[in-house]
Amino acid sequence: MKRFLYNLLLNIGFILSAPYYFLKMYRRGNWVAGFGQRFGQYDGKLKQALTNRRILWIHAVSVGEVAVCSRLVAALEPRLPNHKFVVSTTTSTGMGELQRRLPPQVSKIYYPIDRRKHVQRALGTVHPEAMIFVEAEIWPNMIWGLQRRGLPHFLVNARISDRSYRGYRLGRFLFRELFAGFRGVGVQGEADARRLESLGVRPEALHVVGSLKFADDAPISGPRLDVSGLLRQLGVDDSATVLVGGSTHPGEEAILAGVARRLRERFPKLFLILAPRHHERGGEVGRELEGLGVRFAYRSEIRPGYQRRPGDVDCLLVNTTGELRFFYERADVVFVGKSLTVGGGQNPIEPAALGKAVVFGPRMENFPQVVPQFLSRGGAVCVADAAELERVLGELLESPERRAALGQAAREVVRSNLGGLEKTVEMILAGLPR
């Protein structure tokens, strides 16, 4: 009965939400490529690549999970030389990251919409030996399909937020058997383990391994971006001090632009790079910057032969995907977005692993195990509001020594947390069919 009710409600919800869903895909761009895959329709080329192979299917929802997925693939491939890896994602930005980070022998596909016939079609095509879900992405029809076929499935880097926990508890009549079916679950902390056990995960399946986002580096198979060369095209000198606002959300771009304009009176070589979390907001942010009188250039405009004079541009607006890491490498100070005007926070580990001075706002709820470590060990600075952000950035720009100390402490926090990846790999290997 529960499966009938779920599918009935899912189909009603799908019909009602389809216009919004497809409009969102259209705005993000690149929606045509792989469109049929969202309905479990995969081409002959993929089917041929999977024929007579032992398949391990890994699902990374979007950009945030892709870095974890790429590390997992790199760690598992040498241990499973006879397996073919298939990695799926839900968003076009996630697919772009998969194409950039993973080698050609790894098949990249879109995850099917969780309608029963689409899931059955996908499982019938891929024929996985096992499936790994990165973080807490629980879709009932897919899990039921795996259980019906007797296929082991794993959940890695799991973290249960307050909101998710309330939702799963409310629907525990549905989700309890789904959680109970996982062969292994790697969680970020003890609190997550307790929550997942209360939701139905078997105690013997739980493994507290820490966050898999802690890593010195995530493999990148594609071309690198020469940020210094790109900035020279904008007339920005190599000696410029660079402030990067990474994965920003509405309201944060305007705050950073205003702070940078005022700080430039003290630090005339300060250059601002804004990288909104969703690149499709580029036009919206650009209009906002124009209204503020900010002299900026779009990243997408900069091609061979493009050249601006020194002093023409004060800000680069990144309206492309998959390049944030390269801008972090050039940064002197990094502000981590979704932490000042919007709650949740974005990942502070990537700039920390690069030894950068990291600043974020007070709303970093998505990283409850991570943020306290950085703050207690002097590896990041948390600011309460825009005024404190301006004060702290001014202090950091004035002191290269303090920036270096922050960056070194941040890198030490990352290094002290390594090891979770190997524990996760061991958990998966122990649960695979022999």
What DSSP letter does each residue of 132-173 carry, written as one string? EEESS---HHHHHHHHHHT--EEEEEE---HHHHHHHHHTHH
> Mean pLDDT, to the nearest integer, of 246-256?
97
- When pLDDT is cut at 50, 70 and 90, the band that residue 35 belongs to is confident
Per-residue pLDDT at 420: 92
Assign residue 363 the CATH number of its domain: 3.40.50.2000
- Verify that 188 and 241 share a domain, yes or no: no
Per-residue pLDDT at 159: 86
Domain coverage including residue 44: 31-215+418-431
The residue whose two tokens read 């309330």 is: 166
- Verify that 252 and 175 share a domain, yes or no: no
Query: Is the pLDDT confidence value at 18 over 80?
Result: no
Per-residue pLDDT at 271: 98
Q: Give tens-digit pLDDT for 300-317.
A: 999 999 999 999 999 999
Whether residue 145 is contained in a domain is answered as: yes
Q: Which two tokens stand for residue 288?
A: 């906002």
Q: Give tens-digit pLDDT for 334-385.
A: 999 999 998 889 999 999 999 999 999 999 998 888 999 999 999 999 999 9
Q: Give the 3-state secondary structure percentages of the chain, helix then strand then coil, rounded to 5.
A: 50, 15, 35
Total domains in the fold of the chain = 2
Per-residue pLDDT at 415: 92
Closest to 299 in 3D by CA, of 285, 288, 309, 310:
285
Whether residue 25 is contained in a domain is answered as: no
Whether the Cβ atoms of residue 327 and residue 243 lie closer than 8 Å to each other: no
Per-residue pLDDT at 279: 87
Using only C-alpha atoms, the chain has a radius of gyration, in whole angstroms, of: 22
Whether residue 325 is contained in a domain is answered as: yes
Query: Is the pLDDT confidence value at 27 over 80?
Result: no
- Verify that 182 and 96 share a domain, yes or no: yes
Angle between helix 282-291 and helix 252-263 axes, rounded to 10 deg: 40
Whether residue 11 is contained in a domain is answered as: no
Closest to 243 in 3D by CA, of 322, 361, 351:
351
- Verify that 200 and 247 share a domain, yes or no: no
- Verify that 246 and 182 share a domain, yes or no: no
Q: Rounded to an integer, what distance in angstroms lies between the CA atom of residue 29 and that of residue 264?
A: 35
Whether residue 109 is contained in a domain is answered as: yes
Per-residue pLDDT at 202: 97
Residue 211, Ramachandran bin (φ over 0: left; ψ between -120 and 50: alpha; else beta): beta
Per-residue pLDDT at 220: 62
Q: Which two tokens stand for residue 45?
A: 């080329």
φ, ψ for residue 11, nearest 5 deg: -65, -40
Q: What 3-state class would DSSP assign to 91?
A: coil
Q: Which two tokens stand for residue 117?
A: 């016939």
- When pLDDT is cut at 50, 70 and 90, the band that residue 216 belongs to is low
Amino acid at the residue 333 = V
Q: Rounded to an integer, what distance in angstroms lies between the CA atom of residue 234 and that of residue 232?
A: 5
**DSSP H or E run through 359:** strand 357-360
Query: Is the pLDDT confidence value at 91 over 90?
Result: no
Closest to 300 in 3D by CA, of 275, 270, 329, 336:
275
Query: Is the pLDDT confidence value at 221 over 60?
Result: no
**Strand segments (E) across 23-106:** 54-59, 83-89
Number of Cβ within a 10 Å radius of residue 294? 21
Query: Is the pLDDT confidence value at 23 over 80?
Result: no
Closest to 427 in 3D by CA, of 158, 70, 190:
158
- Verify that 111 and 65 share a domain, yes or no: yes
- When pLDDT is cut at 50, 70 and 90, the band that residue 222 belongs to is low
Whether residue 2 is contained in a domain is answered as: no
C-alpha distances in Å from residue 101, one per residue of 65, 78, 122, 147, 228: 12, 17, 24, 31, 22
**DSSP H or E run through 357:** strand 357-360
- Verify that 284 and 194 share a domain, yes or no: no
> Mean pLDDT, to the nearest integer, of 398-409?
97
Q: Rounded to an integer, what distance in angstroms lies between the CA atom of residue 123 and that of residue 226?
A: 41
Its sign, for the CA torsion 392, 397, 399, 400, is positive
DSSP notation for 202-249: -GGGEEE---TT--S-----SPPP-HHHHHHHTT--TT-EEEEEEEE-
- Verify that 191 and 54 share a domain, yes or no: yes
- When pLDDT is cut at 50, 70 and 90, the band that residue 10 belongs to is confident
Mean per-residue pLDDT over the chain, rounded:
92
Per-residue pLDDT at 154: 97
Q: Which two tokens stand for residue 350?
A: 């990537």
Q: Give tens-digit pLDDT for 132-186.
A: 999 867 899 999 999 999 999 999 999 888 888 898 998 888 899 999 999 999 9
Whether residue 253 is contained in a domain is answered as: yes
> Mean pLDDT, to the nearest integer, of 35-52?
89
**DSSP H or E run through 2:** helix 2-28
pTM for the model stands at: 0.82
Q: 47 versus 243: which is more confidently predicted?
A: 243
Whether residue 174 is contained in a domain is answered as: yes
Whether the Cβ atoms of residue 242 and residue 274 lie closer than 8 Å to each other: no
- Verify that 277 and 372 share a domain, yes or no: yes
- When pLDDT is cut at 50, 70 and 90, the band that residue 102 belongs to is very high
- Verify that 407 and 424 share a domain, yes or no: no
Assign residue 143 the CATH number of its domain: 3.40.50.11720
- Verify that 268 and 383 share a domain, yes or no: yes
Its sign, for the CA torsion 204, 208, 213, 216, is negative
- Verify that 180 and 233 share a domain, yes or no: no
